Structures are given as structure tokens and as C-alpha cells.
Amino acid sequence: MGRTLQHTGIRVPLLVAYSLELAEEWHPTKNVKFKRDEVPYNSSYRAWWRCRKDHRHAWQASVATRAIEKQGCPYCSGRQVLPEDSIVALFPEVAAEFHPTKNDAARPEQFAPKSNRRLWWRCRIDSFHEWESEVRSRTEGSQCPQCRKLNNSLARKSPQLAAEWHPTKNGSLTPEMFSSTNPQRVWWQCSENPEHEWRAAIETRKRGKGSCPMCRSGTKNRSNASSGKVATRRGLNETAPELLDYWHPTKNGATTPETVSHGSKAKVWWQCPKDPTHEWQDPIKKVHGRQRKCLMCVSPIKQGVVRAEESIGHAYPALLAEWHPTLNPGVDPMTVSPGSSRKVMWQCSNDPEHVWKAHVFRRTKGAGCPFCSGLRADSKTCLGSVRK
């Protein structure tokens, strides 16, 4: 059994004659273009395969890759993983510490528990703790090395401060999730007077410089009144609480929102709560006076940013499969609108050598691979292909 190549006259064995084992893994329903007894063993045709050990494992690979290079099932070898076999499904507490920015375009659902891949992790107890470790090591029980060494959560090291942690305004955050030296700004509730609520950095409170500002102000005012002095001015936490979310947690040194007024001309550091990569210096008075605090933020409508359930990644799974895995750094398909005018890189699901740039909205309106459709020429169409 074989096929004769037109340009050479050489007779090439068909896949079914070359390897019966491979022929048995030919996917029974997904190969609409060719049947398994029509394809030579050295064909570049990207066929669908189904693992004979586990029928859940289905993937695409060229016939030549499987027959000549002896490539087996990518799922059995750990190169790919099914969603239900990933660390997201089996080890959600490990997946929760997957670093959101330092692993390039990789996502936790792409890794099996036994993977030897070294990845970056971020501690859920203290987000300033970051480290590299193999996935296998994490699923076998390894934890944050800094927490293991210090065991210094706020709840453990400073129970008196932890007792003033606001019970409702910090959402799901708890004193067990932060070290006592963390610069994160959180909400507190005075143990002496529950009506006193304020925001301050954890490390500031730990250093003893962040007691209840209302109690402190009251003490100063009573002292000033008895001595005939004018009361001290109030800080941002009282006069402009909307600025507290923008106050940079680490770059302002000893200057805190409690020590400055909203009319101050002092230049301080700010950080956008919506995008922590947006950092800038501006006078306090200037930021307080403008409606849009972060000038680096572009309107979400212009950027085409949406919630995950409204994204192209959720609404168009076929296009998600063609979203280039490495050439769109910092752009997550789960946040991009199907109607976005953003241009991104794509990789053809039928031929990974076909890579091109196109608007998102053009893809969702039906534009396909320009190489497969003949709108662009690739090396195969330029040089000619072997007739099967």
C-alpha cells in the first residue's frame, strides 16, 4: 500500500502500512479531509489523533511528526494537560499562588501536578513574597520559603494590632494573609471606639507610628485647647479619603496620608488601584483637584476591556485556541472585548507556521487565517506542495 509522489515517481508507504499502532490513534471523527488509509506516513498534513490509552486525549500533529519523529500523546507525556487534570482543578490552593505577571503567557490550567516546569509563585499570605519552584514541588507540599522561615503573619506576631483589623471593610483579606512588615494599606477599627475607622499601612502600625488618628487628634486638640493653641490640621484620611486608594504603599517613606492635607503642594508618589503598574509623582493638591486621578488609564471602552464572561476568550473558544501563546505579552484574551479594535497576533490552529496580526473585531466577524484562505502566500504555497 502506497502513494506515488508526482514530482519524483517514488512510491511512499501509507500510514496504515507503515504503523498500525499509529493508524489506530487516527481520530475517528475529526479528520474530514483525509481518511487514514489515504495518507502517506511522511505527510505534513496536521491530523487529529486520539490516545488509545485515554480517549479524552485528543490533539493535532502532522503525520510525519508522529511517524518519523516518534512523538507520542502530549497529555500522557505531560506536555499538555486537560482542564480536569490541571493544578487548577486538583490543587486550587497551589494555583491560587500562581504569579499573575512573571510567567509570560502561561496559565495555571496548562500544568499537570507532576510537571517539572519551574514557575514563579506569589504568596497568598504576603504578596511581597515571590519565588521560583517546580510545579511538582508545590503539589508535593512545598510552601512559601519566606513564610516558612519567618512564620511572621500579623495575626501571629502582633495579635493586638490584628484585633483592630476592620471586620468588614477589607473584604476577604485577613491578618493571617499579611506579614507584620507589609506596606499594604488596609482598614482598621479602633479598639477604644468602634466608630473610629481609618486606613493605614500595616508596617506603619507595626512601627508604632499608626495609632488611631481620631483618638490622637482628640488628645492633641484637648491639649491645644488647654494651652490656647490652634488645633492641628486634619490629614487626607479625614479630608480626602478618595485619595487613599491611590497613595503609593512603599515609595513615600515616612510621609503618610495622615500627616498631609489635601491642599499640600508636596510632590508624592501615587499608584493606580486599577493597574498597579501605573505609578507617578504629582503634588497632592493637583491630584485632589482633578476628576480622573490616574492619567495613564485609558477608557476601558477604547481599550475594549471587559469582564471575563463577556470576553473573546469566553465567547469565542475557537478564536481563543488561535490566540498566539507568546506574541501578545500583557494582553489577556479573557479581558478583551469581541468588538475590540486592538490588533493582536494569531496562530492558525491548522498550521502553527501561519502567524499573522489582525484586529480582534475582524476575527469575531469571521475573518480566518489569511494563509489558508489564499490571501497571503506562505513557503508551502510559494514552493509548491507534494500531491498526496
- pLDDT per residue, tens digit, the chain (388 aa), is 555 444 444 577 888 888 888 999 999 999 988 888 888 888 888 999 999 998 999 999 999 889 888 888 988 887 788 888 899 999 999 999 999 999 998 999 999 888 889 999 999 878 888 999 999 889 988 888 877 766 667 888 888 889 999 999 988 788 887 777 788 888 999 988 888 888 888 888 877 766 788 787 655 444 444 444 433 457 887 888 888 889 988 888 878 888 888 888 888 988 888 877 778 888 898 888 877 777 666 444 444 556 777 788 888 888 998 999 889 887 888 888 887 878 899 999 888 889 999 988 889 888 889 888 777 766 554 434 434 4
Among candidates 79, 74, 44, 76, which has minimal Cα distance to 59? 74
The three cell numbers of residue 384 are 509548491
Task: Give me the sign of the Cα torsion angle 365, 370, 373, 375.
Answer: positive
Among candidates 121, 115, 113, which has minimal Cα distance to 139? 113
Q: Give me the residue label for grid cell 514557575.
A: 119
| Model pLDDT, residue 365 | 82
| Model pLDDT, residue 228 | 44
Measured CA to CA, the distance from residue 215 to residue 170 in angstroms comes to 21
In sequence order, the 6+-apart residues with CB closer than 8 A to the CB of 47 are: 26, 27, 31, 34, 39, 60, 61, 62, 63
Q: Which residues pair with 345 in a beta bridge?
A: 357
Give all strands (DSSP E) within 244-331, no chain letters: 267-271, 279-283
Q: What is the pTM of this model?
A: 0.36
C-beta separation of 181 from 205 below 8 A: no
C-beta separation of 11 from 42 below 8 A: no
On the CB side of 287, CA atoms within 13 Å amount to: 31
Measured CA to CA, the distance from residue 296 to residue 341 in angstroms comes to 19
C-beta separation of 41 from 15 below 8 A: yes
Residues in the chain, overall count: 388
